[in-house]
Amino acid sequence: MSTRLPQGGRLIDRKSALEFNWNGTRLMGYAGDTLASALLANNQTLIGRSFKYHRPRGILASGPEEPNALVGLGQGASFEPNQRTTTTELFTDLSATSQNAWPSVHFDIMGFNRILSRVFPAGFYYKTFLFPRFAWKHLFEPVIRRAAGLGAAPKTPDADRYEYFYATVDMLIIGGGIAGLAAALRAGRAGARVLLLEQTAHWGGRAPVDGAEINGAAAQDWINTTLAELDGMPNVTLKNRTMGAGVYDHGWATGYERLTDHAPKAAGPRHRLWRIRAKRIISATGAVERPLSFAGNDIPGVMLASAVRDYLINYATSCGDRLVLATNNDDGYRTALAQHAAGLTVAAVIDARASAAGDLPQQVRALGIPVHTGRAIAAAKGNKYLKAVTICAQAGEGAVLETIPCDVLAMSGGWSPIVHLWSHCGGKLHWDATQAMFRPDPMRPPLGADGTGFVHVAGSANGHLDAASVLKDGFDIGTLATKEAGFKAGPALKDMATSTPEHPIEPIWQMPQGMGPKKQMKTFLDYQNDVKVSDVRLAAREGYESVEHTKRYTTLGMATDQGKLSNINGLAILADSLNAEIPDVGTTTFRPPYHPISMGSIAGDARGELFKPVRQSPIHNWIADNGGFFEPVADWRRPYCYQRTDESVSEAVTREILNTRKNIGLLDASTLGKIIVKGPDAGRFMDMMYTNMMSTLKVGKCRYGLMCTENGFLSDDGVVARLDSDTFLCHTTSGGSDRIHAWMEEWLQTEWWDWQVYTANVTEQYAQIAVVGPKARHLLEKLGGMDVSGENLPFMGFLDGEIGGIKARAFRISFSGELSYEIAVPASDGQAFWDMCIEAGAEFGLQPYGTECLHVMRAEKGFIMIGDETDGTVIPQDLGLSWAISKKKEDFLGKRAQLRPHMQDPDRWRLVGLRPVNDGEIIPDGAYAVDGTIRENGVKNMIGRVTSTYYSPTLGHGIAMGLVQNGPERMGEQIDFPTLDGKMIRATICDPVFYDPEGALQNV
């Protein structure tokens, strides 16, 4: 059984005991424990169930590479699925539950799947469930889906906060083991700005666990001294609990800081996503131990040798009383030594190598522990718990020589450098046959903006597995990167590490070498996804030969650990199956993040109101306080209508229309874009930007203008006013101001840069308030100031002056067909002017109106709306706007495009009015017109569509505008619009101007 030892544990604080909940049971651990170590200390070795076969799963590893021991953590708005017990620091009242098991982890109904595992080989989905056809959707898929997935999905919004942090440094060092510390020391002393990240709470990595010495003393002493020195350097930042998550182009990287995961009651954000720009990045991320591939290697109790020793030394937790070590290298023996030193039994060491003559094996032998060389694990025995192992010759097919009872099996298949961060941005690897590992190839690094490599790898991540060369590599790489970042490296550092020398590893990819198909089906490569040796061999046999094919066909390496433990072992089996060399088979692509990061951290604090901040007009708050029923318009909010308590939205719209046409309506038009175009060449420039001739516009006058893309399509419209001989004020649509301003700048800067023109987007400098209706002039005259008479300020003119004591510019323009003034005042005076109008207008029946009223009134007048009548495929000629396209100008944006054959096609759909034959009917939004014929491909022939459709309270019937094939030539004809509920609405084609066609009302 696994248990807590009476003394020791370098990371736990025995004075601080904590209680926590595991599957509803109250257990005890210590501060400094991980959830994994605390569970082991309580003899909890069965943690969850695997993905496909629901096999019992225990703790395998001690770090983020853990594939098995994933749990649901927390509850309600703090619940999170798939948390690794090995990276979860214990805290008081932590609450965790097993996953993928029902009703319980000990008795899981779906566990019967493993009995069927023989008929569920890799890719079996692809070969079956083919008949009957409907059954996949209705029967098979739902069952498979329910069985899949790991943890439960969170149900409620997230209670936590997240934030970003930006850092620009000379050197980002990832990994706080001795290599990372050494590199940081080098760079820090040289004066470089250094950011050193360590994913765990502790510095020093494996060196203290594995008994390395530096300068003749325990490695921990050097680590402490070094940390103290680095901590004292103003140019060095140390961050523990912060993982280097991803490396991106041009020296950009992300760091994932877990601020309160270990202390959920603490204030502040839960995670912080560091967004780092570094001149050089050093990945000192260490290495990960590989499992060995033998039958039953997934039974709880089979663990990585290094993990067993981590639990012993760091947490004083025994993983079992009676241990068998299976290894193909010397390093694994450290676990036997640690187990023995803790007063526990080591039943045997099974070393697959022909001989084990290194210092570590000799030390083990000297303790009287039997060391069997040339031997392999024939099978691990047990179901939910390991009971024994059987031993065979590595060279054979697995004839059992001996059975050894044990409750923990520590396995070491050698080490793989963690090369993820090197590889994320294109760093290449080479195969080191001696050490049986992929190492970074320094000749093919990821390239930065200047074309030089910007990532270096140091220590174990660089393929150095002994403390002496790890420390040296840390200094060397630190020196190199320091120089590359533009600093003088200073005198060399003399610190030396020593560790017991080791004999070489012998690559062992399956145990025993000649294992038959039956054993292959019980030998796991990917523990979480239940991928076995037999699956990879099957994939190869069926032609899924590329490593990517094998991965996708078998799902090897696609689980939440992304193959940290399984990829190399799987690759080796694939290479063997194909009779190829490992490096020729290649690796799959390493994709960020190194280890999963919370979506919350990726979103940061840009959520809720901050997700996309709302632009507010100067009148926004008044509108909100006075019944404004907001709709989003570009980044703004505009009132759809002002709803009174006793009326519906549509009643409000009707009231606003009728009142505006009878009395006065007040519209906040501040969101309209306003762009100043100024300079000696402004007229020439305006003639290019607009289809109209703008250079001839007289000072003091306004003109309605159209802008097209170079592709000929109508993109924006608005009224242009000529402020003086070289200054124009261009109004754009509410959504168009930034786009149009950028568009103007693009042409001025990149095409006509010799033209003398400036532009300025002054949209937010002005409040613009439309005073609309037959009594509009009465109101302005009452407010006093400029002469707004028809003689002094005629239609399509503007005046500068004062109204009611506020500096104002009044435009005589109308989008409603009524007498109308748009008054621009400084934004800071906007609310005052609005208030004044509301107050003074009361006697004239003034009411504010919203966007829907505006839409209906403009449709009654047949005015087009960008976005309704246009959709990016409509040219002005389609809309009967040829009058606004200058024939005299040599060129303007879009002119050439409009000459192309399709643009000149007489059959283009063109704008008309549409009046439902039945006055009670309204054509639905988006309806298409048909002529009753069927096209060759069976589609009903469409001859037009509606673009705007409303009930007109003014006229008392439905009105619409639409684009119809040959429409303007078909006045008076009737066409049919099928509706989605199967009806047909018949409408008469008519002039789009329904209201006041002579324009008498607006021009008084």
Partner 1 sequence: MKRYSAFAIAKNAVNYHRGWERAWAKPEPKPEYDAIIIGAGGHGLATAYYLGKNYGITNVAIVEKGWLGGGNTGRNTTIIRSNYLQDPSAAIYEKARSLYETMSQDLNYNVMFSPRGVMMLAQTEHEVRGYQRTAHANALQGVETKFISPQRVKQLCPIIELSGPRFPVLGALWQPRGGTARHDAVAWGYARACSDMGMDVIQQCEVTGITQSGGQVTGIETTKGVMKTKKLGIVVAGNSGHLADMGGFRLPLESVSLQALVSEPVKPCMDVVVMANTVHGYMSQSDKGEMVIGGGTDGFNSYTQRGSFHHLEETVRALIETFPMVSRLKMLRHWGGIVDVTGDRSPIISKTPLGGCFINCGWGTGGFKAIPGSGWAMAELMSTGETQGLAAEFGLNRFQEGRFIDESVAAGVAH
Partner 2 sequence: MLHLTCPNCGQMVDETDLHAGGQAHITRHGAGASDADFEDYLFMRKNPKGVHFERWRHVYGCGKWFHAARCTTTLQVFGTYSAQTLTPPKPLITKIKKLRPEWEGFEK
Q: Using CA atoms, how far apart are residues 373 and 350, in angstroms rounded to an integer?
A: 6
CA torsion 853-856-862-868 (nearest 10°) is 100
* Shortest Å, Cβ 549 to partner 2: 25
Q: Which of 347, 350, 400 is nearest to 378 (CA)?
A: 400
The option from partner 1, partner 2, none interacting with 488 (CB < 5 to 8 A, set by class) reads none
Contact pick of 26, 137, 494, 887 for partner 1 (by CB under 8 A): 137
Torsional class of 848: left (φ above 0), alpha (ψ -120 to 50), beta (otherwise): beta
Counting contacts by CB under 8 A, is residue 612 touching partner 1? Answer: yes
Query: Which pair of structure tokens corresponds to residue 768?
Result: 């613009």
The neighbouring-strand residues paired with 415 are 289
The strand ranges marked E within 23-94 are 25-31, 48-49, 56-57, 70-73, 80-84
Write the binding mask 266 to 305 for partner 1: x where contact by CB under 8 A, - elsewhere.
Answer: ---------x------------------------------
Counting contacts by CB under 8 A, is residue 277 touching partner 2? Answer: yes
Find the part of the chain contacting partner 1 (CB under 8 A) among 198-206, 433-441, 494-502, 632-640. Answer: 632-640
* Shortest Å, Cβ 126 to partner 1: 5
Quick check: 868 and 960 in contact, CB under 8 A? no
Q: Which of 286, 301, 305, 363 is nearest to 68 (CA)?
A: 301
Query: Which pair of structure tokens corresponds to residue 826?
Result: 């400084």
Counting contacts by CB under 8 A, is residue 648 touching partner 1? Answer: no
Site residues (CB under 8 A) for partner 2, limited to 695-714: 710-711
- Rounded to 10 deg, the angle between the 737-750 and 682-689 helix axes is 120
Quick one: 622 or 928, whose CB is closer to partner 1?
928
Contact pick of 28, 401, 468, 602 for partner 1 (by CB under 8 A): 602
Q: With the C-alpha atoms ordered 435, 594, 314, 385, is the resulting torsion angle positive or negative?
A: negative
Write the binding mask 867 to 896 for partner 1: x where contact by CB under 8 A, - elsewhere.
Answer: xx--xxx-----------------------
**Phi, psi for residue 469 in degrees, rounded to 5:** -75, -25
Site residues (CB under 8 A) for partner 2, limited to 411-450: 426, 447-450
Quick one: 681 or 869, whose CB is closer to partner 1?
869
The option from partner 2, partner 1, none interacting with 604 (CB < 5 to 8 A, set by class) reads partner 1
* Shortest Å, Cβ 755 to partner 2: 12
Angle at 363 (CA atoms; ends 359, 367), nearest 5 degrees: 165
* Shortest Å, Cβ 861 to partner 1: 20
* Shortest Å, Cβ 769 to partner 1: 23
Quick check: 390 and 378 in contact, CB under 8 A? yes
The option from partner 2, partner 1, none interacting with 136 (CB < 5 to 8 A, set by class) reads partner 1
Site residues (CB under 8 A) for partner 1, limited to 785-814: none
Q: Which helix (H) or strand (E) holds 724?
A: strand 714-724
Torsional class of 374: left (φ above 0), alpha (ψ -120 to 50), beta (otherwise): left
* Shortest Å, Cβ 599 to partner 2: 19
The option from partner 2, partner 1, none interacting with 710 (CB < 5 to 8 A, set by class) reads partner 2
Residues contacting residue 203 through CB under 8 Å, at least 6 positions apart: 176, 177, 181, 223, 227, 238, 240
Find the part of the chain contacting partner 2 (CB under 8 A) among 58-66, 186-194, 617-625, 885-893. Answer: 885-893
Contact pick of 264, 426, 679, 826 for partner 1 (by CB under 8 A): 426
The option from partner 2, partner 1, none interacting with 129 (CB < 5 to 8 A, set by class) reads partner 1
- Rounded to 10 deg, the angle between the 533-541 and 567-578 helix axes is 40
Quick one: 252 or 431, whose CB is closer to partner 2?
252
Quick one: 631 or 781, whose CB is closer to partner 1?
631
Residues contacting residue 592 through CB under 8 Å, at least 6 positions apart: 245, 246, 247, 248, 254, 420, 424
DSSP states along 332-375: THHHHHHHHHTT-EEEEEEE-SS---SHHHHHHHHTT--EEETE
Query: Which pair of structure tokens corresponds to residue 636?
Result: 């703004």
Site residues (CB under 8 A) for partner 2, limited to 493-532: none
Residues contacting residue 134 through CB under 8 Å, at least 6 positions apart: none
Q: Which of 267, 286, 406, 268 is nearest to 348 (CA)?
A: 406
* Shortest Å, Cβ 511 to partner 1: 18
Counting contacts by CB under 8 A, is residue 128 touching partner 1? Answer: yes
The option from partner 1, partner 2, none interacting with 447 (CB < 5 to 8 A, set by class) reads partner 2
Counting contacts by CB under 8 A, is residue 153 touching partner 1? Answer: yes
Contact pick of 443, 980, 984, 1000 for partner 1 (by CB under 8 A): 980
* Shortest Å, Cβ 704 to partner 2: 23
Quick one: 318 or 643, whose CB is closer to partner 1?
643
Quick one: 662 or 895, whose CB is closer to partner 2?
895
Find the part of the chain contacting partner 2 (CB under 8 A) among 377-385, 598-606, 859-867, 884-892. Answer: 884-892
The option from partner 2, partner 1, none interacting with 845 (CB < 5 to 8 A, set by class) reads none
Q: Using CA atoms, how far apart are residues 71 and 51, in angstroms rounded to an integer?
A: 13
Contact pick of 542, 745, 868, 976 for partner 2 (by CB under 8 A): 745
Torsional class of 6: left (φ above 0), alpha (ψ -120 to 50), beta (otherwise): alpha
Query: Which pair of structure tokens corresponds to residue 338?
Result: 């640690």
- Give Cα separations from 603 to 121, 256, 596, 634 (angstroms): 39, 13, 14, 22
Site residues (CB under 8 A) for partner 1, limited to 693-732: 711-712
Quick one: 454 or 995, whose CB is closer to partner 2?
454
Quick one: 473 or 716, whose CB is closer to partner 1?
716
The option from partner 1, partner 2, none interacting with 751 (CB < 5 to 8 A, set by class) reads partner 2
* Shortest Å, Cβ 890 to partner 1: 21
Find the part of the chain contacting partner 1 (CB under 8 A) among 359-367, 467-475, 544-552, 992-1000. Answer: 544-552
Other CB atoms within 10 A of residue 263 CB: 12
Q: Using CA atoms, how far apart are residues 782 and 768, in angstroms rounded to an integer?
A: 19
* Shortest Å, Cβ 779 to partner 1: 30
Residues that bind partner 2 (rule: CB under 8 A) add up to a total of 28
Counting contacts by CB under 8 A, is residue 252 touching partner 2? Answer: yes
The neighbouring-strand residues paired with 636 are 615, 633
Residues that bind partner 1 (rule: CB under 8 A) add up to a total of 114
- The residues that touch partner 2, with contacts defined as CB under 8 A, are 248-252, 277, 426, 447-451, 710-711, 742, 745-746, 749-751, 753, 890-892, 895-897, 900
